[in-house]
Amino acid sequence: MPYRRLPNTDKARIRALNIALAKGKELPPFKLAFSQKSNQKLKGFLNTYENALSFYRQSYVVQTKKNKDYLACLRKARMYISHFIQVLNMAILRGEVQPSVRKYFNLSEDESRIPSLNTEQDLIKLGKNLIMGEARRVQEGNTPVTNPTIALVKVRFETFIDKYHYQKTLQKNTARALEQLTGLRKDADRIIVQIWDEVEESFKELPDDLRREKAKEYGLVYVYRKNEIANVNFFSIRQSGAG
Protein backbone atom coordinates (compact mmCIF):
# COMPACT_ATOMS: atom_id res chain seq x y z
CA MET A 1 0.00 0.00 0.00
CA PRO A 2 1.61 3.30 -1.05
CA TYR A 3 1.89 5.93 1.65
CA ARG A 4 1.36 9.67 1.53
CA ARG A 5 4.58 11.68 1.42
CA LEU A 6 4.58 15.28 2.55
CA PRO A 7 6.82 17.83 0.78
CA ASN A 8 10.15 18.49 2.47
CA THR A 9 11.57 21.34 0.37
CA ASP A 10 10.39 24.89 -0.23
CA LYS A 11 9.86 24.14 -3.91
CA ALA A 12 7.74 21.08 -3.13
CA ARG A 13 5.73 22.92 -0.47
CA ILE A 14 4.93 25.81 -2.78
CA ARG A 15 3.99 23.41 -5.56
CA ALA A 16 1.57 21.60 -3.24
CA LEU A 17 0.06 24.87 -2.03
CA ASN A 18 -0.32 26.22 -5.56
CA ILE A 19 -2.09 23.07 -6.74
CA ALA A 20 -4.55 23.36 -3.87
CA LEU A 21 -4.98 27.08 -4.55
CA ALA A 22 -5.73 26.38 -8.22
CA LYS A 23 -8.35 23.83 -7.21
CA GLY A 24 -9.92 26.39 -4.89
CA LYS A 25 -10.23 28.83 -7.79
CA GLU A 26 -11.40 26.21 -10.27
CA LEU A 27 -14.17 24.57 -8.25
CA PRO A 28 -17.16 26.01 -6.40
CA PRO A 29 -17.10 25.50 -2.61
CA PHE A 30 -19.62 22.61 -2.64
CA LYS A 31 -17.42 20.63 -5.06
CA LEU A 32 -14.10 21.41 -3.43
CA ALA A 33 -12.61 18.49 -1.49
CA PHE A 34 -11.32 20.69 1.33
CA SER A 35 -13.01 23.29 3.49
CA GLN A 36 -13.42 26.98 2.80
CA LYS A 37 -11.67 27.67 6.10
CA SER A 38 -8.59 25.90 4.81
CA ASN A 39 -8.95 27.62 1.46
CA GLN A 40 -9.00 31.07 3.07
CA LYS A 41 -6.01 30.21 5.22
CA LEU A 42 -4.17 29.04 2.10
CA LYS A 43 -4.96 32.26 0.21
CA GLY A 44 -3.73 34.44 3.04
CA PHE A 45 -0.55 32.46 3.54
CA LEU A 46 0.93 31.53 0.17
CA ASN A 47 2.02 35.00 -0.95
CA THR A 48 3.72 35.63 2.40
CA TYR A 49 5.59 32.34 2.13
CA GLU A 50 6.72 32.96 -1.46
CA ASN A 51 7.91 36.48 -0.61
CA ALA A 52 9.85 35.23 2.42
CA LEU A 53 11.53 32.56 0.31
CA SER A 54 12.43 35.13 -2.37
CA PHE A 55 13.84 37.54 0.23
CA TYR A 56 15.95 34.81 1.85
CA ARG A 57 17.38 33.73 -1.51
CA GLN A 58 18.20 37.32 -2.45
CA SER A 59 19.84 37.96 0.94
CA TYR A 60 21.92 34.80 0.62
CA VAL A 61 23.03 35.64 -2.93
CA VAL A 62 24.10 39.17 -1.93
CA GLN A 63 25.96 37.88 1.13
CA THR A 64 27.78 35.24 -0.92
CA LYS A 65 28.68 37.68 -3.69
CA LYS A 66 29.98 40.35 -1.31
CA ASN A 67 31.89 37.77 0.71
CA LYS A 68 34.43 37.36 -2.11
CA ASP A 69 35.28 41.06 -1.96
CA TYR A 70 35.40 40.92 1.83
CA LEU A 71 37.82 37.98 1.88
CA ALA A 72 40.12 39.79 -0.54
CA CYS A 73 40.22 42.81 1.81
CA LEU A 74 40.79 40.50 4.78
CA ARG A 75 43.80 38.89 3.08
CA LYS A 76 45.27 42.29 2.18
CA ALA A 77 44.90 43.63 5.71
CA ARG A 78 46.44 40.47 7.17
CA MET A 79 49.37 40.70 4.76
CA TYR A 80 50.11 44.37 5.49
CA ILE A 81 49.88 43.88 9.25
CA SER A 82 52.14 40.83 9.05
CA HIS A 83 54.67 42.67 6.88
CA PHE A 84 54.74 45.65 9.25
CA ILE A 85 55.69 43.40 12.17
CA GLN A 86 58.26 41.54 10.05
CA VAL A 87 59.93 44.84 9.13
CA LEU A 88 59.88 45.88 12.79
CA ASN A 89 61.46 42.57 13.82
CA MET A 90 64.21 42.91 11.18
CA ALA A 91 65.02 46.41 12.45
CA ILE A 92 65.35 44.95 15.96
CA LEU A 93 67.53 42.12 14.61
CA ARG A 94 69.83 44.65 12.91
CA GLY A 95 70.09 46.61 16.13
CA GLU A 96 68.47 49.72 14.68
CA VAL A 97 65.80 49.73 17.42
CA GLN A 98 65.61 48.05 20.81
CA PRO A 99 63.31 45.06 21.49
CA SER A 100 61.47 47.26 23.98
CA VAL A 101 59.88 49.01 20.99
CA ARG A 102 57.42 46.11 20.84
CA LYS A 103 55.73 47.44 23.99
CA TYR A 104 54.31 50.30 21.94
CA PHE A 105 52.21 47.72 20.13
CA ASN A 106 51.21 45.67 23.19
CA LEU A 107 53.58 42.92 22.06
CA SER A 108 55.90 40.93 24.28
CA GLU A 109 59.39 42.47 24.30
CA ASP A 110 61.10 39.08 23.91
CA GLU A 111 58.68 37.58 21.37
CA SER A 112 59.79 37.85 17.75
CA ARG A 113 57.08 35.68 16.28
CA ILE A 114 54.12 37.29 14.52
CA PRO A 115 51.02 37.06 16.73
CA SER A 116 48.14 34.88 15.60
CA LEU A 117 46.09 36.42 12.81
CA ASN A 118 43.82 33.43 12.29
CA THR A 119 40.58 35.10 13.33
CA GLU A 120 38.99 38.40 12.44
CA GLN A 121 39.13 39.44 16.08
CA ASP A 122 42.87 38.72 16.21
CA LEU A 123 43.35 40.90 13.17
CA ILE A 124 41.20 43.75 14.51
CA LYS A 125 42.95 43.78 17.87
CA LEU A 126 46.45 43.74 16.42
CA GLY A 127 45.63 46.27 13.69
CA LYS A 128 44.38 48.79 16.25
CA ASN A 129 47.44 48.23 18.44
CA LEU A 130 49.83 48.80 15.52
CA ILE A 131 48.13 52.00 14.37
CA MET A 132 47.95 53.52 17.85
CA GLY A 133 51.41 52.32 18.84
CA GLU A 134 53.15 53.67 15.74
CA ALA A 135 51.39 57.04 16.11
CA ARG A 136 52.67 57.27 19.68
CA ARG A 137 56.23 56.33 18.60
CA VAL A 138 56.33 58.97 15.90
CA GLN A 139 54.92 61.62 18.23
CA GLU A 140 57.80 60.87 20.58
CA GLY A 141 60.30 61.61 17.81
CA ASN A 142 61.12 58.03 16.76
CA THR A 143 61.79 57.06 13.15
CA PRO A 144 58.68 55.56 11.59
CA VAL A 145 58.60 52.03 10.22
CA THR A 146 58.60 51.98 6.40
CA ASN A 147 57.83 49.55 3.63
CA PRO A 148 55.04 49.38 4.59
CA THR A 149 54.40 52.59 6.47
CA ILE A 150 51.66 52.63 9.06
CA ALA A 151 49.67 54.88 6.69
CA LEU A 152 49.49 52.07 4.14
CA VAL A 153 48.65 49.56 6.87
CA LYS A 154 45.89 51.87 8.10
CA VAL A 155 44.34 52.18 4.63
CA ARG A 156 44.17 48.40 4.24
CA PHE A 157 43.01 47.92 7.80
CA GLU A 158 40.21 50.49 7.63
CA THR A 159 39.01 49.08 4.30
CA PHE A 160 38.87 45.67 5.94
CA ILE A 161 36.94 47.08 8.93
CA ASP A 162 34.35 48.67 6.64
CA LYS A 163 33.90 45.42 4.73
CA TYR A 164 33.82 43.47 7.98
CA HIS A 165 30.92 45.48 9.41
CA TYR A 166 29.06 45.40 6.10
CA GLN A 167 29.47 41.62 5.83
CA LYS A 168 28.25 41.16 9.39
CA THR A 169 25.15 43.19 8.51
CA LEU A 170 24.53 41.00 5.47
CA GLN A 171 24.94 37.86 7.59
CA LYS A 172 22.42 39.17 10.12
CA ASN A 173 19.97 39.97 7.33
CA THR A 174 20.31 36.46 5.92
CA ALA A 175 19.95 34.90 9.37
CA ARG A 176 16.77 36.89 10.07
CA ALA A 177 15.35 35.96 6.67
CA LEU A 178 16.10 32.29 7.31
CA GLU A 179 14.55 32.45 10.77
CA GLN A 180 11.35 33.90 9.32
CA LEU A 181 11.34 31.35 6.51
CA THR A 182 11.85 28.47 8.95
CA GLY A 183 8.76 29.54 10.89
CA LEU A 184 6.74 29.83 7.70
CA ARG A 185 7.83 26.34 6.64
CA LYS A 186 6.16 24.99 9.76
CA ASP A 187 3.01 26.95 8.95
CA ALA A 188 3.11 25.62 5.37
CA ASP A 189 3.40 22.05 6.64
CA ARG A 190 0.40 22.51 8.94
CA ILE A 191 -1.73 23.95 6.12
CA ILE A 192 -0.71 21.19 3.72
CA VAL A 193 -1.46 18.46 6.26
CA GLN A 194 -4.85 20.02 7.03
CA ILE A 195 -5.82 20.28 3.36
CA TRP A 196 -4.55 16.80 2.50
CA ASP A 197 -6.36 15.29 5.47
CA GLU A 198 -9.60 16.94 4.36
CA VAL A 199 -9.11 15.79 0.76
CA GLU A 200 -8.57 12.18 1.81
CA GLU A 201 -11.58 12.40 4.11
CA SER A 202 -13.73 13.65 1.21
CA PHE A 203 -12.78 10.67 -0.95
CA LYS A 204 -12.69 8.03 1.79
CA GLU A 205 -15.71 6.11 0.41
CA LEU A 206 -14.00 5.50 -2.91
CA PRO A 207 -11.90 2.40 -3.69
CA ASP A 208 -8.26 2.88 -2.72
CA ASP A 209 -6.90 3.31 -6.24
CA LEU A 210 -9.60 5.76 -7.26
CA ARG A 211 -9.32 7.63 -3.94
CA ARG A 212 -5.59 8.15 -4.52
CA GLU A 213 -6.14 9.24 -8.12
CA LYS A 214 -8.69 11.84 -7.03
CA ALA A 215 -6.42 13.04 -4.22
CA LYS A 216 -3.46 13.41 -6.59
CA GLU A 217 -5.47 16.04 -8.48
CA TYR A 218 -5.17 18.14 -5.30
CA GLY A 219 -1.42 17.71 -5.13
CA LEU A 220 -1.20 14.73 -2.79
CA VAL A 221 1.83 12.53 -3.38
CA TYR A 222 1.83 8.78 -2.83
CA VAL A 223 4.91 6.60 -3.01
CA TYR A 224 5.59 2.89 -2.67
CA ARG A 225 8.06 1.49 -0.17
CA LYS A 226 11.05 -0.34 -1.64
CA ASN A 227 9.62 -3.81 -1.03
CA GLU A 228 6.28 -2.71 -2.47
CA ILE A 229 7.97 -1.46 -5.65
CA ALA A 230 9.54 -4.89 -6.12
CA ASN A 231 6.16 -6.58 -5.62
CA VAL A 232 4.43 -4.22 -8.02
CA ASN A 233 7.08 -4.82 -10.68
CA PHE A 234 6.87 -8.58 -10.18
CA PHE A 235 3.06 -8.49 -10.44
CA SER A 236 3.26 -6.43 -13.63
CA ILE A 237 5.75 -8.84 -15.21
CA ARG A 238 3.53 -11.82 -14.37
CA GLN A 239 0.52 -10.09 -15.87
CA SER A 240 2.46 -9.37 -19.07
CA GLY A 241 3.58 -12.96 -19.27
CA ALA A 242 0.06 -14.24 -18.77
CA GLY A 243 -1.12 -12.02 -21.60
pLDDT in tens, the chain (243 residues): 788 999 999 999 999 999 999 999 999 999 999 999 999 999 999 999 999 999 999 999 999 999 999 999 999 999 999 999 999 999 999 999 999 999 999 999 998 999 999 999 999 999 999 999 999 999 999 999 999 999 999 999 999 999 999 999 999 999 999 999 999 999 999 999 999 999 999 999 999 999 999 999 999 999 987 766 545 443 444 444 544
Q: Residue 107, by phi and psi: left (phi above 0), alpha (psi -120 to 50) or beta?
A: beta
The candidate with the shortest Cα–Cα distance to 3, out of 205, 233, 196, is 196
Domain spans in the chain, listed from the N-terminal domain onward: 3-234
Task: Look up the pTM and report it.
Answer: 0.79
**Residue 224, burial from CB neighbour count under 10 angstroms (0-12, 13-18, 19+):** middle
Cis bond before residue 148 (omega within 30° of 0): yes
